[in-house]
Structure 1
Amino acid sequence: MKVAEVTPNVDSATLLAGAQFIDAFQIATTHPDLDARHAAEAMVTRQPRWIELLIALRNILVAPLGLKTSGAADGVARDMIGIFPVVSETPDRLVAGFNDKHLDFRLVVDVAAAGAARSVTATTLVLTHNWLGRTYLAVIMPFHRLIVPAMLRKIGA
């Protein structure tokens, strides 16, 4: 299944006011009854081994800096999709993400009817707070552009 980079179609002021980075990727699926929660779960659970290794490396590198390795790191019980706390949810949109000292992050998963099929769009928003956040974003960006499409392809699998 083909993943396309698309123009983000979200209200960034509402989702993450001041976000300096926003991108979106989209895929069509033949699952006519797919909702946003199930799409998000398919995207973030059971990652390919190469993604798991990158996340493990990221966690090792950022732990000494005091950065979160999961949205559950604050010990507060909450609804989670993988490592991401759910911020809000409707059948057509799930917003997940968390705030950290270096940046705030949101993943928006939108599902919409596309003829007999559905389209799923994953939009990422980031608000950096300091030099560490800007550096972190610059370092992870090449990986982000590989990981999000790979996550979306899992929906069609």
Structure 2
Amino acid sequence: MSFLFSQIKSMPIPEGDRLSSLAQAPYFRDMLSASLKQPELVASQLQYRIFNYLPLWVNGLMGLRNRLVKRLGFEVGQTTMTPKEDHWQVGIKAGFLTVMEISDDEVISGAEDRHMSFFISVKKTNDAVTVSTLVNQKTWIGRLYVNAILPFHYVIARTVINNAMKAGRI
């Protein structure tokens, strides 16, 4: 399936970056990179332009996910990662995520429930954007959940980045 996402590169996980310092075993971590056509954008603009435009099928899957996992104690609610405001600062909600750290080059957002802690970093480096996910799995249910959704995560993460590139948003 990599031929569908040939412009998106899976990257080795760096040691010592901010997300690495948040990792607590057992955890899942990945990192994807894509070239920018608009290198003047800051990290918050990149996050917005990537995740504000989820395909309808992704929103449908998130709705199904919420109905299935609500009884297991997972946080459910908003399925988007769209902020409520144009001006980003620490503490604002970007959909189901809360902005934890922000600079021109990187936004780190997160969400937590009793089964796992989820973090996403959108980082701008010169002419590329790197999107990295970290999921700390707190319980065996969290571990089962992460393993069950990995194939969906693989496709969804690459699709939303690819769509942003094709539409010229990033």
Secondary structure at 2:68's aligned position in 1?
Answer: helix
SS at match of 1:106: strand
Residue number in structure 2 paired with 1:8? 13
TM-score, normalised to structure 2's length? 0.79
| 8 Å contact from structure 2 (residues 53, 160) kept in 1 | no
Alignment partner of 1:119 is 2:138: no
Alpha-carbon distance in structure 2 between the residues aligned to 1:35 and 1:121 = 12
- How has the CA–CA distance of structure 1 residues 82 and 153 changed in structure 2, closer, same or farther, with 3 Å as cutoff? farther
Report how far residue 27 of structure 1 moved.
Answer: 0.5
Question: RMSD between aligned alpha carbons?
Answer: 1.9
CA distance in 2, matches of 1:152, 1:122: 9
Higher RCO, 1 or 2 (CA under 8 Å, sep at least 6)? 1
Q: How does 1:35-114 map to 2 (within 5 A)?
A: 35-70=42-77, 78-113=91-126
Normalised TM-score (structure 1):
0.85
Distance 1:51 1:17 in 2: 28
Q: How does 1:23-38 map to 2 (within 5 A)?
A: 23-38=30-45
- Give the whole-Å Cα distance in 1 for the aligned partners of 2:28 and 2:133: 8
| 1:69-120 alpha-carbon deviations (Å, 9 max, x no partner) | 148xxxxxx412232111111110000111210011100111110xxxx201
Structure 2: which amino acid aligns with 1:4? K
SS of the equivalent of 1:142 reads: helix
* Whole-angstrom CA distance in 1 between matches of 2:47 and 2:77: 16
1:136 and 2:118 aligned = no
Identical columns (%) = 27
Q: Is the 8 A contact 1:23 1:123 kept in 2?
A: yes
More strand per residue = 1
Q: Offset of 1:17 from its aligned partner?
A: 4.1
| Alpha-carbon shift at residue 52 of structure 1 (Å) | 0.7
Structure 1, unmatched stretches of 5+, are 72-77
Deviation at 1:131, TM superposition (A): 0.8
* Maintained 8 Å contact 2:33/2:128: yes
5-14 or 20-29: which moved more? 5-14
Q: Helix, strand or coil for the counterpart of 2:114?
A: coil
